[in-house]
Amino acid sequence: MPKRRDILAIVLIVLPWTLLITVWHQSAIAPLLAIRKACHHLVKEIFIIPERLAVRHHRLSDDGVEGKREAGGQAQDSKEYCASDKDIVEVVRTEYVYTRPPPWSDVLPTIHIITPTYSRPVQKAELTRLANTFLHVPNLHWILVEDSQRRTPLVTRLLREMGLNYTHLNVETPRNYKLRGDTRDPRIPRGTMQRNLALRWLRETFNANSSQAGIVYFADDDNTYSLELFEEMRSTRKVSVWPVAFVGGLRYESPKVNAAGKVYGWKTVFDPHRPFAIDMAGFAINLRLILFKPQAYFKLRGVKGGYQESSLLRELVTLNDLEPKAANCTKILVWHTRTEKPVLVNEGKKGFTDPNVEI
Amino acid sequence: MAARMKLKLKTVFVLYFMVSLMGLVYALMQLGQRCDCTEHDMPKDRTISRLRGELHRFQEQIRKSDVTKQPQKLPAKPTIFVITPTYARLVQKAELTRLSQTFLHVPQLHWIVVEDSPHKTPLVSDLLVKSGLAYTHLHMPTAKDRKLQEGDPSWLKPRGVEQRNEGLRWLREDRRAQPGGDNQQGVVYFADDDNTYSLQIFEEMRSTQRVSVWPVGLVGGMKYERPVVEEGKVVRFHTGWRPSRPFPMDMAGFAVSLKLVLANPEACFDGDAPMGFLESSFLQGLVTMDELEPKADNCSKVLVWHTRTEKPKMKREEALQAQGLGSDRAVEV
């Protein structure tokens, strides 16, 4: 009898205190959450404005350089931005030098884009239109890794002329490398060594303790990216995921997200039981995570088709930690397009066109 | 002794319980009010005020650039009118997205998108609105017998003819109504939605007086096709396929000045022309070979590529659809 009473007593003592503590904890967090939301909203506004601003700057600066001025131009939607700012107190006059990428902001996390590339006829075209996309994204750092013995002049010149913030690396994948005993598929999947080199470069360049916020994204040179995608990935805390169109023989593959906003599976037909059934273009990793786990790399050999992404992600994060983006993985913001190999029949054996002309 | 103990315990309990309950109620009341914890907010607050400052700076910039545009008296840069025929297929949204990202860098560009469809589709309408470009959205369906069927090779029937002609028709009608009449500055360029354009090509074509030409990469079964220039004039064309055509060029290899388009209201693309003669059917009535203006460093640089996008493999999608388990149609791809 006294024992039961003791238990009752303990319960009655402990219960209100635990309730008190949890409630107190909640009340301390709530104002912080509200502020973070406000921060996010403001950051979103600033992302959108530079896009329009970038256009205006190019037009203005173009005129400035050539000494002409535009008459009436295309002032479509600046009105909606300006209508509300009747209460601006300070007028900051900033002189912008004509730079094609948007001006660097010291608040936005940098997006490090790792693109492996290799020489083929469409290479310059692919890199050109990819660069045209990246020129719209603020705080972008392009890490281009060539699959070649030496850095080619084509890519070197292209990077220099584009005006993007870039790092140019190269590593050659050994061709026809035969492993003793591994007869299934001795080849290293394309782009793996290049991506690993970029990861190593990031780890050597950035200190784990520094406060530089960064996001790492693997972008192949033939895919198509919407500008919204880069703003979605900027808020990645560990690893964020979203749907990708035209992969796995489907209109799109996407992570399965439950009502609580957590990823619990993969909506794919091709092997949905992979640890991470997602395409290279469907996720982004926070730089801090890359630096904290310096052993995590893409597995070079013995990787089954479709398991490349899992080989890296399983060392970094669990399914529960994934952050779904793109409106809880319901919008398509990246397309896994592939460019046709051009038919060069008329070149013949000796080559019809002048080889000195770069394409 | 036991009775007294019991009593004491009971009162202790009750007291304790009351105190805890009061504490809980106090905490719950605290939840509704604003907390005075300034030491937590500092870094977030600072970030917010910095962001606000940047936002205001940008807004001021836009407002200032708008204001300074008003009192202009000097002539504007010639507008480039880009006519793009497009049709619904899986990769349409992706193609138009990356095309619009390129065009967004080009000042004074007006995009004329003509859909091969009996009515304007919401996919294209929404994309154009969000693109931030100056645009015109038109539509013109191709007649059934002229349309490529599923499985036809791409060269069997000419594509985009009716759409380009519709673009020209709208342009002539719109420009007639503008002040300046037939003397307006402008350049007309036909840009297909799967090609790749560098930003330099648009600056090269802006100075077109009649018809300007340049090399095009990855076309005609070769690395590039180009006009051959001697002493600043085009003398012949370097192409691997039927070089005897009047203008053996690709659609992406030339631009026409607006003045010429307005001065020749009958000039348009002939859908009945034999394969490869589409461009010639348009240019024949407008210009002769020696009047062509070579651009891109006397036609020695490739600034535009005739890339083509693979059709995505939908085997699994089709299999799923047969079972009624296809992907959500509401999600736009």
Contacts of B45 in chain A (CB under 8 A): 35
User: A236-268: per-residue pLDDT in tens?
Assistant: 999 999 999 999 888 899 999 999 999 999 998
Chain B's closest residue to A77, CA to CA, is B132
Instruction: Inform me whether the pLDDT recorded for B126 exceeds 70.
Output: yes
CA distance linking residue A31 with residue B41, whole number of Å: 9
Residues 6+ apart with CB under 8 A from B87: B115, B116, B117
Measure CB to CB from residue B59 to each of A20, A39, A82 and give the nearest one: A82
Q: Most A CBs within 10 Å: which of B11, B55, B101, B309, as the mutation test of the A interface?
A: B101
Mean pLDDT (chain A, rounded): 77
- In degrees and rounded to multiples of 5, residue B170 shows phi and psi of -65, -40
Burial class (CB in 10 A: 0-12, 13-18, 19+), A295: exposed
A186 is in an annotated binding site: no
Residues 6+ apart with CB under 8 A from A164: A100, A101, A131, A134, A135, A140, A142
Measure CB to CB from residue A53 to each of B17, B62, B90 and give the nearest one: B62
Catalytic residue positions of A, numbered? 309
Identify the pLDDT of residue A293. Answer: 93
pLDDT mean over B32-39: 54
Instruction: Output the six-digit token pair for B25.
Output: 């109620």
Interface predicted TM-score (ipTM) over 0.90 = no
Instruction: Inform me whether the pLDDT recorded for B181 exceeds 70.
Output: no
CA distance linking residue B304 with residue B226, whole number of Å: 11
Contacts of B224 in chain A (CB under 8 A): 353, 357, 359
Grade residue B221 by pLDDT with cuts at 50, 70 and 90.
confident
User: B209-220: per-residue pLDDT in tens?
Assistant: 999 999 999 988
Chain A's closest residue to B98, CA to CA, is A224
Q: Quick check: A292 and A210 in contact, CB under 8 A?
A: no
Pairing of strands B293-294, A244-245: unpaired
Chain B's closest residue to A71, CA to CA, is B72
User: Could A227 and B215 be called an inter-chain contact, meaning their C-beta atoms sit closer than 8 Å?
Assistant: no
**Which of these ranges, A33-42, A334-343, B51-60, B79-88, has the smallest mean pLDDT?**
A33-42
pLDDT mean over B278-290: 90
Identify the pLDDT of residue A44. Answer: 47
Identify the pLDDT of residue A223. Answer: 95
Known binding-site residue numbers of B: 85-87, 116, 159, 164, 192-194, 306-308
Q: Most A CBs within 10 Å: which of B178, B199, B298, B332, as the mutation test of the A interface?
A: B199
Higher pLDDT, A1 or B25: B25
Neighbour count for residue A309 (Cβ, 10 Å): 21
User: A284-297: per-residue pLDDT in tens?
Assistant: 999 999 999 999 99
A195 is in an annotated binding site: yes
What's the pTM value of the predicted model, to 2 decimals?
A: 0.74
Instruction: Inform me whether the pLDDT recorded for A92 exceeds 50.
Output: no
